[in-house]
């Protein structure tokens, strides 16, 4: 189908169809993105994604949503392969404020639309909701609003469940090595989820773009009452070193088995990452409290 014909068809379809999800994949706009938060959003709402960056690592770190095998890998986010992008024939490219330098390079290939999810001083959750709804409206995908509403409802249910827990604060961290970690503050997506489910983030220090790093492992001693929530990926040797560390094993949270190791989650993700974090945290804490 010719480019002009597809665009012409979509213009009419958006105006006349009450169920855009019924459109065949071949008739939907072909989209690409350099940004992982936008990529996971596009995948979650059923967009026709044809290209993304660092897909092997995305599959390992983000885990969900699944990336179809036929999505072209553009290589590194900092140096995307524009020839591969051109070959993927996107009709529209979604970009973020992290990669605005690439806009001028990609605009000859396809129109570029930008959505910011991580901005200093602003809620990434609220920005992710806005981006999700805007993408849904742009692509005529009802699943976007469904995602927003499903997650909001789930967080309310988890809030009720956590209300009968032990009331301890939570510190979400990602290990850099056995002596340092990255901690996620109140302005991170993980911090936003904690707030929305009624849990206190034990980290009250400053952050930059949602996290602070490197933070010395000794800092955990100043939060003896907290649950330590470890969010992979972590270096394998760091975990091994901690297991034999006298300091680590002397921490109250470690002695009292208040350490949760979740599955890997995109640390700078959007609503799908927020949902994955909430699900894994609820499963981990509920199991620990019941045990």
pLDDT, tens digit (0-9, with 9 covering 90-100), for 126-150: 999 999 999 999 999 999 999 999 9
Examine the domain organization and report whether 263 and 144 are in the same domain: no
Across the chain, what does the average pLDDT equal? 90
Beta bridge partners, 32, equal 51, 93
**Cα-to-chain-centroid distance, residue 70:** 22
In a domain, 4, yes or no: no
Burial of 123: CB neighbours in 10 Å, binned 0-12, 13-18, 19+: middle
Percent of the chain topping pLDDT 70 = 90
In a domain, 153, yes or no: no
Indicate the residue among 148, 177, 211 that finishes a domain.
Answer: 148
Comparing CA positions, the residue from 221, 231, 230 lying closest to residue 253 is 221
pLDDT in tens, 209-239: 677 778 999 999 999 999 999 999 998 899 8
Q: Which domain holds residue 144?
A: 16-148
Which of the four pLDDT bands, split at 50, 70 and 90, describes residue 96? Answer: very high
- Please say whether the dihedral angle defined by the alpha carbons of residues 206, 266, 35 and 197, taken in this order, is positive or negative: negative
Decide which of 138 and 120 is more confident: 138
Examine the domain organization and report whether 115 and 233 are in the same domain: no
Examine the domain organization and report whether 101 and 216 are in the same domain: no
Strand, helix or coil for residue 173: strand
Which of the four pLDDT bands, split at 50, 70 and 90, describes residue 8? Answer: very low
193 has pLDDT over 70: yes
Examine the domain organization and report whether 123 and 175 are in the same domain: no
Which of the four pLDDT bands, split at 50, 70 and 90, describes residue 269? Answer: very high
In a domain, 122, yes or no: yes
Which of the four pLDDT bands, split at 50, 70 and 90, describes residue 26? Answer: very low
In a domain, 155, yes or no: no
36 has pLDDT over 70: yes
Number of domains in the chain: 2
5 has pLDDT over 60: no
In a domain, 124, yes or no: yes
> What mean pLDDT comes out for the span 62-89?
97
Examine the domain organization and report whether 143 and 180 are in the same domain: no
Quote the strand ranges of 159-263, DSSP E. Answer: 170-177, 180-184, 211-216, 227-230, 259-261
pLDDT at 9: 35
pTM of the model: 0.88
Strand 259-261 relative to strand 92-95, pairing: unpaired
Examine the domain organization and report whether 113 and 85 are in the same domain: yes
Examine the domain organization and report whether 141 and 173 are in the same domain: no
Examine the domain organization and report whether 112 and 222 are in the same domain: no
In a domain, 161, yes or no: no
14 has pLDDT over 90: no
Q: Residue 218 maps to which CATH number?
A: 3.40.50.1980
In a domain, 82, yes or no: yes
Examine the domain organization and report whether 112 and 224 are in the same domain: no
pLDDT at 22: 39
pLDDT at 213: 76
87 has pLDDT over 70: yes
Decide which of 26 and 3 is more confident: 26
202 has pLDDT over 90: yes
Comparing CA positions, the residue from 39, 31, 45, 40 lying closest to residue 272 is 40
Examine the domain organization and report whether 122 and 191 are in the same domain: no
Decide which of 56 and 186 is more confident: 56
76 has pLDDT over 80: yes
Indicate the residue among 119, 148, 177 that finishes a domain.
Answer: 148
93 has pLDDT over 80: yes
Write b or e for each residue in 245-265: b if 16 or more Cβ atoms lie within 10 A of its Cβ, otherwise e: eeebeebebbeeebbbebebb
Examine the domain organization and report whether 173 and 274 are in the same domain: yes
Of the ranges 4-13, 77-86, 93-102, 260-269, which one carries the lowest mean pLDDT score?
Answer: 4-13
* CA pair distance 44, 203, nearest whole angstrom: 30
Indicate the residue among 96, 118, 148 that finishes a domain.
Answer: 148
Decide which of 14 and 66 is more confident: 66
pLDDT at 27: 67
33 has pLDDT over 50: yes
Task: Enter the tokens of residue 115.
Answer: 């959505």
Examine the domain organization and report whether 20 and 133 are in the same domain: yes
* CA pair distance 131, 144, nearest whole angstrom: 9
In a domain, 9, yes or no: no
pLDDT at 131: 98
């Amino acid at each position: 189908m010719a480019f002009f014909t597809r665009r012409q068809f979509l213009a009419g379809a958006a105006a006349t169809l009450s169920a855009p999800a019924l459109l065949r994949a071949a008739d939907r706009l072909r989209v690409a993105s350099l940004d992982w938060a936008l990529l996971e959003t596009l995948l979650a709402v059923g967009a026709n994604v044809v290209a993304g960056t660092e897909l092997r690592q995305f599959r390992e770190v983000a885990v969900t949503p699944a990336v179809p095998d036929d999505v072209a890998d553009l290589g590194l986010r900092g140096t995307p392969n524009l020839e591969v992008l051109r070959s993927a024939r996107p009709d529209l490219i979604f970009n973020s404020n992290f990669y605005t330098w690439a806009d001028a390079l990609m605009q000859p290939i396809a129109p570029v639309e930008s959505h910011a999810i991580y901005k200093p001083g602003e809620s990434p959750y609220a920005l992710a909701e806005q981006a999700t709804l805007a993408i849904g409206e742009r692509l005529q995908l009802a699943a976007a609003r469904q995602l927003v509403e499903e997650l909001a409802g789930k967080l309310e249910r988890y809030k009720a469940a956590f209300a009968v827990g032990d009331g301890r604060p939570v510190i979400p961290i990602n290990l850099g090595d056995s002596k340092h970690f990255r901690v996620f503050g109140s302005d991170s997506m993980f911090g936003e989820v904690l707030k929305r489910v009624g849990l206190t983030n034990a980290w009250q220090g400053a952050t930059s773009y949602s996290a602070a790093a490197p933070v010395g492992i000794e800092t955990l001693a100043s939060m003896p009452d907290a649950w330590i929530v470890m969010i992979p990926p972590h270096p394998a040797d760091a975990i091994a070193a901690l297991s034999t560390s006298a300091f680590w094993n002397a921490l109250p949270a470690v002695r009292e088995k208040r350490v949760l190791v979740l599955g890997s989650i995109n640390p700078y993700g959007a609503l799908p990452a927020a949902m994955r974090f909430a699900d894994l945290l609820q499963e981990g804490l509920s199991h620990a409290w019941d045990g």
